[in-house]
Structure 1
Amino acid sequence: MSAILTKTSGESTKEFADKWLFKPLGIKDYHWRKSEDGIYHGGSDIFLTPRDMAKFGYLFLNNGQWNEKQIVPKEWVKKSTTKKVNIPADDLYATGLNYGYWWWIQEKAYMAWGAGGQYIIVSPDLNLVVVFTADGFDNINLYEIFMKLFLVDNIYSAVKSEMPLPADPSALKELDNILKELENPKEISITKLPKIGTTISKNNYTFETNDVGFQSTSFKFSNNICVWEYYIGGHGITLQVGMNGNYLI
């Protein structure tokens, strides 16, 4: 789809998204991987902050409107979040889910489902957007465990009213303080590398053949910096790892 959009519009998918989607939503701080032939990945590999993920969900919750401006056609929001594909009953990882256009559909909500536990969940009935950026589930029925037991029992049940609640300045202030602390983590002074760093530094660890395609990984420590390098599907990826309380990945 990304290649089709690029050819049809005459500009890259990133340029198109910046102009028509990200700029109106105020999304600036993101990273988007592209293939060797310059096509931005259409099905994965875009890195957004949780807040920007929530903006995308909120856009769809409001039928494509943002600040009273129609960013995405209302008809497309309805079509894309309506069941188009029946998931086979023997697909244990997604039992109970169906598929629209790039959205997974369930009974009370629809969601964007990304690798490593990236979720944008939109519940029109509750006027609610829920964002997760990680999960602890592996090889289980996502719908049965995550959607029913966690989302329904813990998130949906926390909704106190379908109408706006009275203002609560003290709770809002507490939430703002938590957000500011998360957005500005305190740096930890590093006097020396952790012991394990000297043990594993520059060693290359190879994996047995696996479905994910991970081939090898290594960590290189020097001057209070850790560089993580791994190979997946024949492609090498290098990332700097935070060691002083600042999250870099």
Structure 2
Amino acid sequence: MKKVFLIVLVTVCMMRLQPVALAQEVSKLPRSTPELEGVSSAGIIDFINAADTSGLENHSFMMLRHGKVIAEGWWEPYGPDYKHVMFSASKTFTATAVGLAVSENRLKVTDKIISFFPYSLPDSISEYMKGMTVKDLLTMSAGQDPEPSAWSANGDWMTLFLSTAPKYKPGTVFKYNNMATFMLSAIVQQVTGETVFNYLMPRIFKPLGIRGIDWDLNPQGISMGMIGLRLRTEDLAKFGQLLSNGGVWNGKQLIPKEWIKEATAFQIKNSDEPEEKRILSDWGQGYAYQMWRGKNNTVRLDGMGGQFVVLIPDKDAIVVFTANNTNTQKQLDLMHKYLIPAIRSDKPLAPAPALQAEMAKKAAALGITPGFEKSVASGLEKSVSGKEFILSENENKIQSVYFSFKNGDCTFAIKRDNAVSSIKAGGKEWLVSNTLSASLLAPPRTNFSKSVDANYSILKPVIKLAAKYAWTDEKSLEITGRFVEETLGSETIVCKFLEQNNEVRVTIEPKTPARSGRGPGNQQPVVLRGAMVNL
């Protein structure tokens, strides 16, 4: 059964009936109903209907009004307890670290970039680079075109950036630049002696009750800054509410109010489109400090694929999305068309329990389909269940695979280096397994370069995999997996069985690769071939 977790408190009385449960969730945002906060449940229903039929792949949404969650949903297999890759939504947290360092008099936005890295300076520095400031990095106006890329660089990332001469005078032209954000992270680490992740932990993450998170490091041990942060939907909502509150949380000023005002304001023009086109785009309204200005006077955290935290100051509202979309303007247009107009008043609306029940019912039907059609019956299922297939030598160093079918579920096991690892895939429901690999067939990662929220070393961090399977024809088994905390999309392998000369053989190959959450590209597909062992 497809489902999405939706929490809508129908009455305030329900809150009073559950004091113990609420006491255990002190780190969660307060909940309310749409109508109590002046929002129409009907408008949210319209949004859910539109999102479900839009052809978009949404993973979660959360809507806040007056600081309270009024609707939230996760498309299965995604859920409230799973972190999600943020991609460039990470950038706003890096900018916040800069703001905090400024407030602690560790740097100024007018400081020159080259002043922070005396040991990383290249032999020659262009005049434009000499004049580049922290603010130029914050506003994506470093002027480099093309931007430097460090993905294949083994040396000093700061040197690489500093040796790339800007094409335009810094501060004058908007050019999106991931390495500019990395440099902000490096600057914070240079002036504080801590990674951005560790610096933000006692100042932002812990006060907001955001725990069990991580942020990727570059080879030099610096928080990536530009990408690499993984947070839950509610973690994002908390941060959005902190910004909306002017930096105040539980009566304490965590971020200076003036910094938030400056960081969310229009700083630089970011589009040369004609006015009639620009006004239709959420990427044409200007850029702030590592945030985008949008339509309806919105400002947002923005990550590839549709990772958004949208502040709607005119309505005292926040909308959070996680997703895997290419047409992210279409995704935001659903918010502009349905969610923002659903905000009707600053006062409570008439109670609407029937609409709230309908909203919950529709939400319960939401989920992500695995990409294959209805499973067919296969006589081979019984024949191969419990059997081992010895594979020919392959690049993934898999010695053998094993299939087992029981009660409508499939166990798929891999033997590598004489050690066996297995996952479970559901025939009807997504089943979640803990693995050490971020791929169905590739070897486990051996390099875990993360800043981890723990007081001990995580030697082999657990990777969450949700999987489904289906027989697409009598001899073809497909297994689809979603590494819900590591990548955006799905990964599917096809196992084709062939009976010949009293022998059952299998060919296993990728059908769709997972969309990477860590840097560029996907590995070339590896085709596996083997024969069943008759015991």
CA displacement at 1:152 relative to structure 2:
1.3
Q: Which residue number in structure 1 is paired with residue 341 of structure 2?
A: 157
Matched AA of 2:272: A
For residues 14-33 of structure 1, what are the structure 2 equivalents within 5 Å?
14-33=197-216
Equivalent residue for 2:319, pick from 130, 135, 152? 130
Q: Which residue number in structure 2 is paired with residue 73 of structure 1?
A: 256
Matched AA of 1:243: A
1:242 aligns with 2:431: no
Distance in 1, matches of 2:215 and 2:362, equals: 28
Q: Secondary structure at the match of 1:224?
A: strand
Runs in 1 of length 4+ with deviation above 6 angstroms?
166-179, 191-194, 244-247
CA displacement at 1:240 relative to structure 2:
5.0
Q: Secondary structure at the match of 1:150?
A: helix
CA contact (8 A) 2:242 2:249 kept: yes
Q: Secondary structure at the match of 2:206?
A: helix
Distance in 2, matches of 1:28 and 1:174, equals: 34
TM-score, length basis structure 2: 0.34
CA displacement at 1:172 relative to structure 2:
8.4
Gaps of at least 5 residues in structure 1 are 183-190, 205-219
Gaps of at least 5 residues in structure 2 are 1-183, 367-380, 397-411, 415-421, 425-434, 449-461, 469-480, 486-535
CA displacement at 1:168 relative to structure 2:
7.5
1:102 aligns with 2:301: no
Distance in 1, matches of 2:262 and 2:226, equals: 19
Q: Secondary structure at the match of 1:159?
A: coil
Distance in 1, matches of 2:252 and 2:350, equals: 28
19 and 95 in structure 1: CA distance in 2 versus 1, 3 angstrom threshold: closer
Q: Deviations over 1:6-62 (max 9, x none)?
A: 110112211111011101111002121110110011111101000000000000111
Q: Which has the larger radius of gyration?
A: 2
Which one has the bigger helix percentage?
1
Q: Which residue number in structure 2 is paired with residue 55 of structure 1?
A: 238
Matched AA of 1:100: A
RCO (CA 8 Å, sep 6+): is it higher in 1 or 2? 2
Matched AA of 2:306: G
CA displacement at 1:108 relative to structure 2:
1.9
Distance in 2, matches of 1:28 and 1:173, equals: 32
Q: Which residue number in structure 2 is paired with residue 188 of structure 1?
A: none
Distance in 2, matches of 1:134 and 1:248, equals: 11
CA displacement at 1:173 relative to structure 2:
9.7
- Identity among equivalent pairs (%): 28
**What's the Cα RMSD here?**
4.1
CA displacement at 1:163 relative to structure 2:
2.5
Equivalent residue for 2:221, pick from 38, 52, 60? 38
CA contact (8 A) 1:89 1:95 kept: no
For residues 158-197 of structure 1, what are the structure 2 equivalents within 5 Å?
158-165=342-349
